[in-house]
Structure 1
Amino acid sequence: MAHCEQVPPAALTADTVLSRMRALDTALPPRDGVAVFNGVYLTVAREAGLRTEGGRFTDVRGATALDVRFAQRYLAAVDAAEDGRRPPACWRPLFQFRRHPGVRPPQFALAGLNAHVGHDLALAVVDTCRTLGCEPVDLEAEFDRVGELLVSVEERIHDELTPGPDLLRIADPLTHLLGSWSLERARDATWAAARALWALRRLPDVAGEFTDRLDAAAGFAGRLLLTPLPD
């Protein structure tokens, strides 16, 4: 089933999104793969929220709408898994392997980032355009700002979750695995996908097929990122 449909607006705001993520942070065991990603994402989201409240961004309405729609996609995947429903394909590897003893914390975090960027962000741009009645080009500055937030997530994955000097050893398979995924390339592909989905909005069958392919590709990459590694 295609996941290109608009996520219901419900009553989520930036505050309720952060509240949901804090609740997950408290409820989930620290070693749980979803908890690992949620913890990194929550830390960066808190900082981004503070900066937005401080008036740093010129379009707070657009920025907040995109932030909320983006996070809402992740929370919808969590809700689906908790309710026994199938989350989008991009998120399934993380939920399937979340307790695997051979998968290291940086892999969980990077797999979550891959799902969130490779699938959720493009759909969040389309969701936000529908909500605000604008075009993707009108959100380009906000998209770039979200990209800065994602860079912060990626930096925390490397700085806080990777082991010490052992990671620098060229023979460590984790070094190769973390280097196999590029946030910059993923962001570029996501922006192109968002524009394509917006152009296809009056062709729901084609848009749905396109979204399914996007979802499946992100899921395939996520499964590779979660390859169990030796200690």
Structure 2
Amino acid sequence: MNTIDEVIRKLDLIIQDAETHNDPAGYFAALYQKVTIKVKEGIANGYFDDGPRMEQLDVLFAQRYLDAWKAYKLCDQMSGSWKKAFEQSPRYWPIVLQHLLVGMNAHINYDLGIVAAEISKGKEMEDLREDFNRINSILSELVHEVQDNLSSVWPMLKYLLKLTGKVDDYLVDFSMKLARDGAWKFAGEYFRVEESGKAAFLLQRDQRISEIVKVVTKPGLIAALILAIVRFTERGSVRDKIQKLKFTPL
């Protein structure tokens, strides 16, 4: 792939496959396509300091997700963080937002830092910082938008999240905080690692990010009970839910 338009078309195929097979892994693909379309619009509107660089980053970033999806479908090897995310797909209990957050965990807290370091080779990495943060801001805004969309379909979700602010923070803010505080730091560290040490460095990071999945899937007894209630109130098939998450042109 060389362009964002190609990324959007590839994500369309993944979404279609997930809808056909009622695969919850399609929730993240639908959100990710929204993010990609927002990044495309941002480039066109001059939102980023360096539009061409951001398109390159977007394509390389997406390729890591597409490679993970392909490995998932073929039961092939992938990073531990993506493996943990895809392992949630056949399970009944995760609510839609949990599926989204385990995908975000792998893609932001692991993939994004790697790609940021790779496209900065031979350059000053600090030049990328502002645009890096802008991508995270786009994703954060969309997660809140998705929560509002799902709450309109499952009113119990909105009620419970208002009732329990801590659960709301857990669902929405944990990954964003890690993205802001940790992903950039990881990118800089990886950028400075000698080539001979990169594989070991990435393995260590992958193991650490894989462990974060437990924060999402096993949040403690009270939160788990609340999420179970939300799960019971979710209506519609996986396909129906993916349809609610998909980008809708104005």
TM class by shorter chain equals: 0.7 to 0.9
**Aligned partners of 1:151 and 1:80: how far apart in 2?**
27
1:165 positional shift: 1.3
How many positions carry a matched residue from both structures? 216
Contact 1:80–1:87 under 8 Å retained in 2: yes
TM-score by length of 1: 0.83
The structure-2 alpha-carbon separation of the partners of 1:204 and 1:28, relative to structure 1 and needing over 3 Å to count, comes to same
Partners of 1:165 and 1:49 lie apart in 2 by: 34
Q: Does 1:15 align with 2:8?
A: no
Report the counterpart of residue 211 of structure 1 in structure 2.
202
Q: How does 1:79-228 map to 2 (within 5 A)?
A: 79-130=70-121, 133-162=122-151, 163-170=157-164, 175=168, 177-178=170-171, 181-200=174-193, 202-205=194-197, 207-227=198-218
CA shift for structure 1 position 121: 0.7
Asked if structure 2 preserves the Cα contact closer than 8 Å seen for 1:110 and 1:157, the reply is no
More divergent stretch after superposition (151-160 vs 216-225): 151-160
Gaps of 5+ in 2: 152-156, 219-223, 230-250
Determine the structure 2 residue equivalent to 1:8. none
**Do 1:115 and 1:218's aligned partners in 2 also have CA atoms closer than 8 Å?**
yes
Q: Indicate the residue corresponding to 2:14 in structure 1.
A: 24
Question: What is the CA distance between 1:60 and its match in structure 2?
Answer: 1.0
Q: Which amino acid aligns with 2:15?
A: D
Question: Structure 1 pair 87/150, CA: closer, same or farther in 2 (3 Å)?
Answer: same
| Displacement of 1:203 | 4.0
What fraction of aligned residue pairs are identical, expressed as a percent? Answer: 24
Which whole-Å CA distance do the structure 2 matches of 1:13 and 1:223 have between them?
35
Q: Deviations over 1:127-179 (max 9, x none)?
A: 2124xx42311212221221222222332343233522122222x99547426
Q: How many Å apart are 1:22 and its aligned residue? A: 1.3
Whole-Å separation in 2 of the counterparts to 1:145 and 1:168: 28
Paired amino acid for 1:16: E
Distance 2:27 2:166 in 1: 20
User: Superposed, which structure 2 residues align to 1:18-57 within 5 Å?
Assistant: 18-29=8-19, 32-57=23-48
Tell me, in whole angstroms, the C-alpha distance in 2 between the residues paired with 1:149 and 1:109: 15
- Asked if the contact 1:62/1:142 (under 8 Å) is kept, the reply is no
State the one-letter code of the partner of 2:204.
R
Determine if contact 1:52/1:60 at 8 Å carries over to the other structure.
yes
| 1:188 Cα deviation after fit | 2.0
Cα RMSD of the aligned pairs, angstroms, is 2.4
Partner of 1:230: 228
| Structure holding more helix per residue | 2
SS at match of 1:58: coil
Give the aligned residue type for 2:196.
Answer: P
TM-score (ref. length: structure 2): 0.77
User: Which stretch shows the higher mean deviation, 55-64 or 23-32?
Assistant: 23-32
| Residues 57 and 173 of structure 1, relative CA distance in 2, 3 Å threshold | closer
In the alignment, is the contact (CA less than 8 A) between 2:11 and 2:33 conserved in 1?
A: yes
Question: 1-side partners of 2:169 and 2:129: how far apart?
Answer: 32
Q: Distance in 2 between matches of 1:176 and 1:137?
A: 30
- Cα deviations across residues 17-44 of structure 1 (Å, max 9, x unaligned)? 1111111112213863311111112123
